[in-house]
Amino acid sequence: MSVAIYPGSFDPVTFGHLAIIRRAARLFDHVRVLVAHNPEKCGLFSPQERVELLSAVTADYPQVTIDVTDGYVVDYARQIGAQCLIRGLRGADDARAETHLAALNRNLAPELETLLLPAESDLVAVSSSDLKARAQRGEALTALCPEPVARELRVRFGKDALA
């Protein structure tokens, strides 16, 4: 069985992440989305809340499961027997950072292959940080994230009435 992990912060999940998950689910028998959380970094959503939002918006994908770790991603990949680590690329900055990360991970776990999937053109500018900034300003979020995520963001930022 082919197994891939897709690690990230997912604070919170966006349509950009979902597109990567959908594409990975076409390539692998099982995709484990991993909320990789650094206890020293405090996000807007707790790790458990990020897992719940990811679970809600991937409910239609039977081969996708959501997990959380505060340990090393490569250790987790080994534990579950993943062959591949998936990351997304939005542009030159991501390419530089992700290539560096892939090299570090290859040193730690040579058996784990990194697969970099380029962003779809209409999602290149979508990021969790931009999403949160827009939510804070009360802007429309419909093109950026699924409705359960937008709803949570509106509650967080007290913008209940906005689309």
Pick out residues in 94-133 that bind ligand ADP (CB under 6 A): 94, 98, 119, 123, 126-128
Would residue 17 show up in a list of annotated catalytic residues for this protein? yes
Distance of CA 46 to the CA centre of its chain: 14
Which residue out of 30, 32, 50, 128 is catalytically annotated? Answer: 128
Would residue 41 show up in a list of annotated catalytic residues for this protein? yes
Mapped onto helix, strand or coil, the DSSP state of residue 118 is: strand
Size of the site for ligand ADP (CB under 6 A): 17
Can you list the positions of beta strands (E) in 19-60? 30-36
Q: Comparing C-alpha atoms, which of 34, 61, 38, 39 is closest to residue 50? A: 34
Taken in order 85, 83, 72, 26, the sign of the CA dihedral is: positive
Which residue out of 23, 78, 90, 154 is catalytically annotated? Answer: 90
Task: Please report whether residue 30 would count as binding ligand ADP according to CB under 6 A.
Answer: no
Residues that bind ligand ADP (CB under 6 A): 8-10, 14, 16-17, 20, 87-88, 90, 94, 98, 119, 123, 126-128
Active-site annotation, residues: 17, 41, 90, 128
